Amino acid sequence: MDQKNLQSLCRLIRYDILTSTTTAGSGHPTSSLSGVELTTCLFFGGFYQKGDHFVLSKGHASPLLYSLYHAAGLIDYQKLLTLRKFGSVLEGHPTPRLPFIEVATGSLGQGLSVGVGMALGLRLIKHSKAKVWVLLGDSEMAEGQNWEAMEIASHYKLGNLTAILDVNRLGQNGQTMAGWDLEYYAKKANTFGWETIVIEDGHDLKEIYDAFHKARRLNFYAPVGPPVKPDSQVAKNLPPSPTGKPIMIIAKTVKGKGVSFLENKDGWHGKPLDQEQLKLALKELGNVDLNLKGKTNITTFAPGVEETGIPAAHRLGGVVAGRAPTGGNPRQNLAQISTREAYGDTLAKLGEENPGIVVLDGEVANSTYQNKFAKKFPERFFQMYIAEQNMVSVALGLQKIGFIPFVSSFAAFLTRAFDQIRMSQYSKSNLKIVGSHAGVSIGQDGPSQMGLEDIAMMRSVLPSVVFYPADGVAAEKLTEIMLKNSGLFYLRTTRGKTPIIYDDREQFDIGGLKIHAGIKTGKPSVLVIAAGITLHEALKAQKILAGENIPTTVVDLYGIKPLNKKSIEQLVKEHSKTIVVEDHYPAGGIGEAIGSLGIKFHHLAVRKTPFSGTPEELLHYEEIDAEAIIKTVKNM
């Protein structure tokens, strides 16, 4: 260890943190100062290797990260001084707008889960020795998601994952729950199955260096699949015998370290120094070599094609070279199938064609039918158990290694992972999220299981695409579209079986819809817009009304977002009245999507608090069944 050089780098990084935040007039200098020695030793002490990944979970310490990049020669000092300015890629909390950053952080408690996903992804890459490092703040350890991540990391024996806990005692508003009680953190981490290394002085470079050296000895490549025989050739090519435990380095640090009037002082969180205070602070730092550059592998983040073993086409959703997707639809011979089962069938089929697909489950795979994929490809199926927040962030981590994650649970339960979904959009996410058991149509399980807010939730995320298939063919085609297109997708599926209404040759598109003109008994005056389960109710109503010489046009709005604005507006012009019917609460659903176009319509939605009953009883009670549609049309 070149301790003198590391000390000089630490002074430079502190200088950068202080000057950049003062220039910005905002930021979190004290939170950044506490982690200087830890990260300087990691990046410039020889521990961060080619292919490794780093996640700054305590995202408010972005000035620390940007200063490390400056010390590595990746950004110049003038660019560093654009911190937090409009248009700068050096944002208040890090985002991938800066190429060296893989994931956006700042909503605390999510970074470790992303690291778990990265570590799982690296395990799928044959003979990868790359490691994942996550810098955590002690305040964010109050977030339950961290402990979900720790539990699952231990379960999967992720010895290629190291968390660094910056215990600086002070949060935004006073002392954290545990303060500087390092034993408290160590005991909890040990209980969750982690190896722990305690650093009593998180600013002592020698002690930090020794801790990282110990962690490197414990880190290892853990092969996926059946146990390797000790005398096999494979075993001879692997690193030393693994312990199978993720590692947490727990370091006692001082918030504001390096500036006496900031050190361990409450009330300085998120406050930069003014010009006079900056002069005093820089005087304390002493001589700083502004031209100093440290050697590091910090530029190496996302693995290349040859490292993942996944061809570029697969990472974008393509199929195996020279092999076309399986043709034909065995469901054509079925009278009915649930869209959730059709999704499961399709996912298992696509898994054969694309080795980049990974699947994450919240312990409901036998209900979402992701178990069909799990049986075929157990090494690419990850059981996340009942921890939806962790599941979504882990999926993001797997994506950043080059895989295409499909994530599924009940639509109702996914709402608890909204912040993780929201944050993923700032990380240029390519996630395929599937919510099953949507709406009151699930029946007897009752309101706690009914996803009635999920469309609103997913529509509100800016880049999202929202699908709601009505039959098995649509579910298959839309699942294939999700795979072939990069981005944040949501597929809403239903519990009950529904009739097959589309031919396998039918085409589906992002932002698409289908028009069901019905029996030609005259010019239709009423347009009925429906999706999923209510489409079948609308088609029943259409048939009955046609028998009474009341023609209607029914639209299957399977593409809820983006809307096919042009087609919808044209259809509305051709009809005197419009009805929207949906198995969702009124706020944020299909009705509000149509309303955003300035269209006037009669809205049938779930307006009463639901309870247990048969699907038919509940659809009738909420007045979103065929009878309610017929009544509404006649009243018009």
Known active-site residue 306:
no
**Residue 375: count of CB within 10 angstroms of its CB:** 11
DSSP conformation letters of 542-581: HHHHHHTT--EEEEE--EEES--HHHHHHHHHT-SEEEEE
Instruction: Please name every residue paired with 581 in a beta bridge, in sequence order, or none if there are none.
Output: 604
**Residue 596: count of CB within 10 angstroms of its CB:** 11
* The token pair that represents 276 in the structure block: 């006079």
Contact 541, 626 (CB under 8 A): yes
Q: What is the CA radius of gyration of the chain?
A: 28
Question: Virtual CA dihedral for 590, 605, 446, 557, nearest 10 degrees?
Answer: -30
Q: How many residues does the chain have?
A: 636
Contact 248, 163 (CB under 8 A): yes
User: In angstroms, rounded to a whole number, what is the distance separating the alpha carbons of residues 571 and 577?
Assistant: 10
521-546: b (≥16 Cβ within 10 Å) or e: eeebebbbbbbbbbbbbbbbbbeebb
User: In angstroms, rounded to a whole number, what is the distance separating the alpha carbons of residues 503 and 101?
Assistant: 45
| Parallel/antiparallel/unpaired status of strands 247-252 and 195-199 | parallel
Contact 579, 529 (CB under 8 A): yes
**Is 347 in a helix, a strand, or coil?**
helix
User: In angstroms, rounded to a whole number, what is the distance separating the alpha carbons of residues 533 and 530?
Assistant: 8
Tell me the C-alpha to C-alpha distance, in Å, between residue 213 and each of 54, 118, 158, 422: 17, 22, 18, 37
The residue written with tokens 């034993």 in the block is: 183
**Residue 318: count of CB within 10 angstroms of its CB:** 16
Angle at 466 between CA 609 and CA 567, to 5 degrees: 105
What 8-state DSSP symbol labels residue 335? S
User: In angstroms, rounded to a whole number, what is the distance separating the alpha carbons of residues 520 and 529?
Assistant: 18
User: In angstroms, rounded to a whole number, what is the distance separating the alpha carbons of residues 580 and 24?
Assistant: 50
Contact 14, 36 (CB under 8 A): yes
User: In angstroms, rounded to a whole number, what is the distance separating the alpha carbons of residues 94 and 29?
Assistant: 15
Number of H helices, E strands in the chain: 26, 21
User: In angstroms, rounded to a whole number, what is the distance separating the alpha carbons of residues 380 and 373?
Assistant: 9
Instruction: Please name every residue paired with 361 in a beta bridge, in sequence order, or none if there are none.
Output: 383, 408
User: In angstroms, rounded to a whole number, what is the distance separating the alpha carbons of residues 233 and 123?
Assistant: 19
Angle separating helix axes 275-285 and 3-24, nearest 10 degrees: 180
Contact 169, 179 (CB under 8 A): yes
Cis check for the bond before 562: say yes or no (omega within 30 of 0): yes
User: In angstroms, rounded to a whole number, what is the distance separating the alpha carbons of residues 234 and 221?
Assistant: 12
Of 37, 91, 195, 388, the active-site residue reads 388
**Is 219 in a helix, a strand, or coil?**
coil
Which active-site residues does the annotation give? 388
